[in-house]
């Protein structure tokens, strides 16, 4: 009985992390790259961290929006988000998760580490580059300038 429990525990220790890796890789395989426009003062530096503010919060919010859910995206040819509206039935890859707080739309990726000596370059950023997974989760990948060159 002890051997069976040992091997069961051993297989669980190997199987659970492997299953999580496979799950994450499948989510990333279906992800697409999207860009969110930053607000005019979109990058605020705090030591080695950069806090981002998106253009999305410069527009007035409709008070009828749900407190959390999905936003349907309208992307241009460069994959920049130009418009959004709440839509729980938007297709995967065309929706992002959001929640409302302090009359602003809050997204998951709002902070980024700044490499030493690159703070001025980060202040020039105009877009935030994200991987958008099929479940609507955003993963911040970096900042780009006006011509979409990675900083």
pLDDT the model gives residue 143: 87
Write down the pLDDT at residue 71. Answer: 85
Note the pTM of the prediction, 2 decimals.
Answer: 0.71
Q: Report mean pLDDT in 10-residue bins for the chain, 151 residues.
A: 87 86 70 85 80 75 80 86 82 82 74 78 85 82 85 76
N-to-C CA span, the chain: 58
Whole-angstrom distance, CA of residue 40 vs CA of residue 54: 9
């Amino acid at each position: 009985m002890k051997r069976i429990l040992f091997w069961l525990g051993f297989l669980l220790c190997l199987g659970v992390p492997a299953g999580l890796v496979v799950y994450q890789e499948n989510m990333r395989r279906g992800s697409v790259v999207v860009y969110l426009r930053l607000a005019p003062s979109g990058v605020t530096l705090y030591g080695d961290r950069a806090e981002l503010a998106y253009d999305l919060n410069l527009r007035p919010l409709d008070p009828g929006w749900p407190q959390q859910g999905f936003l349907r995206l309208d992307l241009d040819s460069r994959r920049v988000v130009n418009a959004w509206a709440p839509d729980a039935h938007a297709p995967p890859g065309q929706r992002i998760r959001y929640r409302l707080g302090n009359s602003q739309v809050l997204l998951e990726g709002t902070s980024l580490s700044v490499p030493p000596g690159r703070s001025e370059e980060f202040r020039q950023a105009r877009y935030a580059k994200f991987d958008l997974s099929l479940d609507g989760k955003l993963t911040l990948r970096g900042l780009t300038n006006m011509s979409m060159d990675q900083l």
